[in-house]
Amino acid sequence: MDNVKESREEIIEKFKPTIEYLIRYIPWLEKQTGQTVSHSYKGEGEVKQSFSIPVYDGTLLSFINDVSMTNYMDKNYQYVYTRNRLKTFEDEWRAIDRADIMHMGVLCGIMSRYVLGGMTKSIYWKNGVEYEIFLRVLKKTREIIEFWDKPIVMEGEESILNEAVEPVYGEAAEQPEMAAKPIDGEALNSSVTGLEEDEEELSLEEIRRILEAE
């Protein structure tokens, strides 16, 4: 996938619906980082098998199914790995962090490896969660689209944003701004002196209590 030939507007139009659709998985992926999302099943009793069958979290399978039908998928993802010399997940992390709107193909290649590759080697799905690959690609895509377009709000975030910028109505909104009053130097000195005297008297009382206690 070569996005260099596409304009910025075309890339936004192409990937904005994708990230809007998949963004709902971000909270789940954040919670699953470093966690096990699969277990082995060998059967029970007489049907117990000599080999184990991997059983995956239902949400993970739903995510794989959804993302496999989006613009992220690139069957030539191996070319992305060869061209960018990606060999370890640390290399993948760095490539994701460096990606920009004109290099969305890198994100697609990495996502495709873990989704399509998992069709034959399902450990890719497990590693995609545990190594934060899925999470990092989604968050980077969101960051890129929001930078060039407008914020993408997940369900639940909208109410938080509304509370943060809740408008003020009624008397509080109608009160005129108070004009700053000139500072009375003598009054200020008097109040400061009074505070100092109060602090000194209080300090002496504390000392007397300590002495009487001894």
pLDDT higher than threshold 70 for residue 165: no
The answer to whether the CB of 135 falls within 8 A of the CB of 22 is no
Predicted local confidence at residue 32, as pLDDT? 84
More confident residue, 42 or 34: 34
Closest CA to 112 of 146, 150, 79, 156: 79
pLDDT value at residue 169: 42
Hey, what amino acid is at 185? G
Higher per-residue pLDDT: 155 or 58: 58
The arithmetic mean of pLDDT across residues 89-101, rounded, is: 96
Q: What's the mean pLDDT in 42-70?
A: 73
Domain boundaries, the chain: 1-35+73-148
Q: Is residue 144 scored above 60 in pLDDT? A: yes
Closest listed residue to residue 38, CA positions, set 53, 28, 25, 21: 53
- What is the per-residue pLDDT for 148? 92
Least confident window among 38-52, 87-101, 103-117: 38-52
Average pLDDT over residues 32-58: 60
How many angstroms separate the CA atoms of 19 and 137, rounded?
10
pLDDT at 82 over 50: yes
Chain segment 131-143, per-residue pLDDT in tens? 999 999 999 999 9
Average pLDDT of the chain to the nearest whole number: 76
What's residue 206's pLDDT?
61
Does the pLDDT value for residue 170 go beyond 70?
Answer: no
